[in-house]
Structure 1
Amino acid sequence: MALNKNALIRYKTIDKCLQNQARHWSLEDLIEACSDALYEFEGKDVNISKRTVQLDLQMMRGDKLGYNALIEVYDRKFYRYADPDYSITQIPLTENDMNVLSETMDMLRQFQDFSLFSEFRGIFNKLEDQIYTERHHKPSVIHLDRNADLKGIDLLDELYQAILKEVVLEVMYQSFNAMVPSETTFHPYFLKEYNNRWFLVGRRSDHERILTFALDRIMGIDYNFTETYIPCPINADDYYKNTIGVTVLDNRFLKNIKFKVDRKNAPYVLTKPFHASQKLIEKHEDGSMTFGMKVHTNYELERLLLGFGKSLEVLSPRQLRRKFSRLFEEAYTLYK
């Protein structure tokens, strides 16, 4: 059963009140305590009716939330737990709860390099240890690809913070084609993840062209507080809307790609399109299918299509078809 935030705050407040049996708690006292708690969290007065708190008590007594709290009324006016040691925070987790928590921990672990979660790392570790201590060990049913040993991943949070704070960077960068690294005054705009690798997107001070730096090729970064930050002129979704991967080209390279996929692989391409623009053009009698999409003819597109080998045939444009023909001929010579 889903809980809204205010209801959860009220349940926890009532629970805390009823644990304090040194004081008598009337319905009016519980209403006042809940109002104070909501004001503390929301920063504004929230009107709580008597009916609302009565329904909260009823809900806590029931099993819909798994509380089954033994809340008794004494002197016809005051509320308390029949067991003074009871608390809704101490009820045991169900197996389903533990499964959900385990999978959530696996997902959160993907973001542990961000300082946003740094203060929770100890809590996550304790929670994870408690979960695995109290249950039978089972393999995760959710597995996310993550290359923890990727060079440059340690820069991820520092770059993230620089973007948020709009700080100009001095980036020492060395591409795979460069003999030595070079230093660039760089205005960072956003981080991009593709194929389990991270990239920094921004521009140089002396040129408006948007550049993409792979984090594993960044040799070092420093801060430049003397130069004024140039705001980001683009929207990331618009910037990548015609692109597969991270290499955004100009409109000269924006082409209508037409390709045919054999019967065995066509369902995979149909259910998991290469790009948002992909359309089914024709279903053939032999089970193969012809698709079309409009994207930049960049390196990532070529790798994606070439990865299907003989299962995929590029029909147009002719320039891309001829290039693939040449590449397959060159590849064939390697296996003669």
Structure 2
Amino acid sequence: MPTNKNAQLRYKILDRCFSNFKHKYTIEELVDEVNENLSDLTGQIISLRQIRDDIKYMRDRASYNAPIKAYPLGIGRQCYYRYEDSGFSIFDNELSAEEIKDLRSTIEMLGKYRGTPANAWLEEVISNLEYRFNIKPNTENLIAFENNEQLRGLEFLSEVIDMTIHHQPFHIHYCSFKGKEHNAIIHPYFVKQYNNRWFVLGYNDKYNAISIYALDRIQSIKESDISFHKNDSVDFKTYFDNIIGVTLLDESIPIETIILRFEASRFPYVLSKPIHQSQETVNMDDHTISIKVKPNNELRQLIFSYIPDVEVVSPAWFREEIMNKIEENLKKYSAVQKGRTEG
């Protein structure tokens, strides 16, 4: 019987893998999956032999009697491992009264997303939670979340999330904001929402780099049968720390200290709802704040959303850029006004 202090943690990881009927875990992938989780939590690494011992122990009638079966992959003698019974788990999932209370609140919040094309995938998750733990949400309509049901691309959201979770590469037909169409194969790493839009970030074979795609510009999507390119370079826990939004076209772009001055009436709002996590107050009397970010389109759009209550103080090049854009915009209004006058 395994006596390693991390045995229970390994069993939980393996139990999750054997219960996953959307991925075929080979013995090598089981080793990778366990080590990836263990290294994050304990810093330890286990061997293939240990995984085989764990499978044997979990199968044992006196321990868990788990119905773990090896299925041929059709590639030589390689096999993948999975429970024969899709509903089996070695853990009974008993919850405390406090955990049930928290789960009920979670189900109630998730339930607010029911019935929309973007979140149809939640229906099965919520229903399973309600059935499994005999928890029914409060039927009163007490909470609302911002949700744009008219946004294009929402029909792809559940599929993209699912393929990201299960490390499934996919092929997309994409149309850029300039109307240029192209095809791409993406190895999805991360899904993020910003400003009511959804984006998927992943490795692009063509560019040998991370690319970002807005779901509302995806025209079609389908699974690819190529091997998944594992993410060994990007930590998405910190990837967005130095930007606003999601766009980081070039990681070599330096971080700039942006100083902004606001009108007195708008300044309290900016203090109560910081523009970025790096925000600091420079001068209360002058209503100025600073943020340390890599300038991108989302930053520019955010600044324009505060006009006419904001002024870019520095850096000089960024101040000039924003000023030029404002002048260009004023010319359009002036041209319209002149046309009306002449008419």
TM-score between both structures, scaled by the size of structure 1: 0.61
Match of 2:112 among 109, 114, 125: 109
- Residue 115 (structure 1) shift: 3.1
- Conserved? CA contact 2:152–2:216, under 8 Å: yes
SS of residue paired to 2:227: coil
Partner in structure 1 of residue 279 of structure 2: 278
Deviations 1:271-316 (A, max 9, x none): 11111111111121xxx41111111111110111111112111011
1:209 aligned partner, one-letter code: A
Partner in structure 2 of residue 308 of structure 1: 306
- Conserved? CA contact 1:172–1:218, under 8 Å: yes
Partner in structure 1 of residue 267 of structure 2: 266
Q: 1:296 to 1:119 in 2, by over 3 A?
A: closer
Give me the whole-angstrom Cα distance separating, in 2, the residues matched to 1:307 and 1:40. Answer: 51
1:118 aligned partner, one-letter code: E
Partner in structure 2 of residue 6 of structure 1: none
Deviations 1:134-181 (A, max 9, x none): xxxxx64x33210122111111111111112211111111112134x2
- Conserved? CA contact 2:281–2:289, under 8 Å: yes
Partner in structure 2 of residue 292 of structure 1: 290
- Conserved? CA contact 1:114–1:156, under 8 Å: no
- Conserved? CA contact 1:198–1:215, under 8 Å: yes
| Identity value in percent | 27
2:124 aligned partner, one-letter code: S
Match of 1:325 among 319, 323, 326: 323
- Conserved? CA contact 1:247–1:298, under 8 Å: yes
- Residue 207 (structure 1) shift: 2.8
In the TM superposition, what are the counterparts of 1:1-336 in structure 2 within 5 Å? 41=92, 105-110=108-113, 113=119, 115=121, 117-118=123-124, 120-121=126-127, 131=139, 140=142, 142-179=143-180, 181-225=181-225, 227-232=226-231, 233-248=233-248, 249-284=250-285, 288-336=286-334
SS of residue paired to 1:41: coil
Give me the whole-angstrom Cα distance separating, in 1, the residues matched to 2:253 and 2:307. Answer: 27
Deviations 1:90-114 (A, max 9, x none): xxxxxxx9xx979963543337726
Give me the whole-angstrom Cα distance separating, in 2, the residues matched to 1:189 and 1:326. Answer: 37
Give me the whole-angstrom Cα distance separating, in 1, the residues matched to 2:155 and 2:282. Answer: 45
2:222 aligned partner, one-letter code: D
- Residue 131 (structure 1) shift: 3.2
RMSD over aligned Cα, in angstroms? Answer: 3.2
- Residue 185 (structure 1) shift: 1.5
Partner in structure 1 of residue 7 of structure 2: none
Q: 1:103 to 1:265 in 2, by over 3 A?
A: farther
- Residue 200 (structure 1) shift: 0.8
- Conserved? CA contact 1:102–1:131, under 8 Å: no
Q: 1:145 to 1:168 in 2, by over 3 A?
A: same
- Residue 236 (structure 1) shift: 1.2
What is the total number of aligned residue pairs between the two structures? 232
Give me the whole-angstrom Cα distance separating, in 2, the residues matched to 1:182 and 1:40. Answer: 46
- Conserved? CA contact 2:112–2:144, under 8 Å: no
Give me the whole-angstrom Cα distance separating, in 2, the residues matched to 1:252 and 1:102. Answer: 42
Deviations 1:49-80 (A, max 9, x none): xxxxxxxxxxxxxxxx9xxxxxxxxxxxxxxx
Partner in structure 2 of residue 86 of structure 1: none
Structure 1 runs not aligned, ≥5 long: 1-38, 44-64, 66-96, 133-138
- Residue 259 (structure 1) shift: 1.1
- Conserved? CA contact 1:244–1:295, under 8 Å: yes
Give me the whole-angstrom Cα distance separating, in 1, the residues matched to 2:291 and 2:330. Answer: 28
**Structure with max Cα Rg:** 1
- Residue 198 (structure 1) shift: 0.3
Structure 2 runs not aligned, ≥5 long: 1-89, 335-343
Give me the whole-angstrom Cα distance separating, in 2, the residues matched to 1:334 and 1:158. Answer: 42
Give me the whole-angstrom Cα distance separating, in 1, the residues matched to 2:107 and 2:166. Answer: 29
- Residue 221 (structure 1) shift: 1.1
Partner in structure 1 of residue 80 of structure 2: none
TM-score between both structures, scaled by the size of structure 2: 0.60
